[in-house]
Structure 1
């Protein structure tokens, strides 16, 4: 096997961050990012692995610095077809962010866990945002011996909207997913992205090629895969590790002014997260962050500080 991708190199985030290509079965690639502060990682604390959502990748330097500042070695993965891994995926004929089965991401997370263990760490705390929260929940369910604890940041546990609408959409994407999986069935609104990005008045600097404001096209095969795993979660998982599930205090509109986009969950329905938290299994603690955005780590202060403190205090008390 070609090991040329197994060396750490300087990451696009610059000083203090390194990246490593993870070679996956079938020729796919994911990218593991490591934060290596000058004062070094903590001793004896389990590493944290951050898993992003749809139309997303890891760019949250402040999150890495906060976690490492409490002594937890910090890693993040750009899953196949996302962010740092997108060029290899599209060059091989894939659509950005598109898979037909979320089970494929078990390979990405297995490879990341193996690489983190090679760095000399034991245990693993998963930190998943949005779609990443669904992916990490499924992974903790099938790899219970690998996961020490889990933090979920606004996890995607159901479609937003009325039950009747969700039912119709699901049947349509199941049918299209079988016969025409690349069919575009939806797109994201751009108001949330514009509220975040520095070029349109937001706080955050990131690559719009990897996280465009309007998102990547939502394709039938991908959404069918999401709905299958929503159904699996609805039947109940058997996650054994302690879990902290964090949400905003309000579900927001799909579009609106920046102040609304950043003080509510403008992407998902908070009630769905709360309703399905017990379906994870094990011990699940729910924390509500007043004024939090969909990505709680990108909320304006003071909600952002409250979220980070809540997560880090919970880790200190739990692991």
Structure 2
């Protein structure tokens, strides 16, 4: 049964929210991601999907849904080369007062955008983030959430230095760079801000930290309303030499920007240090894969702080074989995910 045949939505003359979705070869999950957006209780939205030259059936799937719901616009036929230029393409077409980011393999609760919009307007936020649940697409869901500490319990304002410190590579605590923000579009336009197209990962963090540097107000709500899917083709958890080089360059540029706030400068310096440690770690792994043990040992000598990171590949391998028996998946969120998947995958 075609669940879209019952109701035909027209795009609002002036949508309140523009949801932008970048896609590349995500046919297995795309329909569910689209439906989770179009199922929102706040129907005054537009969904702008920009395809990055997919070779699978992604565009065909999206266009079929767009025939039934005019709020979905599909742009395809160009290879942009990453989520940053794709999102910039979508931003140029956005008409809403607010912009929301949803990835083409993820799911959001039906009331997410309505609740986030209310919270943003009530708090005067220019950027609002919610808690995020990470789940495994195959096998046990093994759900865990992004927020730690006080962010789990109550709404909070996130200052620029705090946001930077929550984005250290291989750092502890909340990983706010994974958050999918709701952004006041006028804050972007007033400062002519767009995604940095040299970045293949970390582009959301980079945009938000530049927004914060202009004085934008960022708030968080503790509610878990975004479900982030991890699978074999996921881009965001892959760190390689090219991606790390782009991260290091942008972090260095951020550190060189003048700011009257010493805590911001210190946070940028600490993040740059964490990236440089990650670069050495990547070089060590490459050396070990090539059985160059002596070369790996020399690299460890140049940066002893990488030693704790060397346990991670072993831990990951054990978890793959054992199903990570020490992990405690959130049972309540697992039940909610089952309902959400049933709603979006029907």
Whether the TM-score (by the shorter chain) exceeds 0.5 is: no
TM-score w.r.t. the length of structure 2 is 0.28
Normalized per residue, the structure richer in helix is 2
TM-score w.r.t. the length of structure 1 is 0.30
User: Taking CA–CA contacts closer than 8 Å with sequence separation of 6 or more, which of the two structures ends up with the larger relative contact order?
Assistant: 2
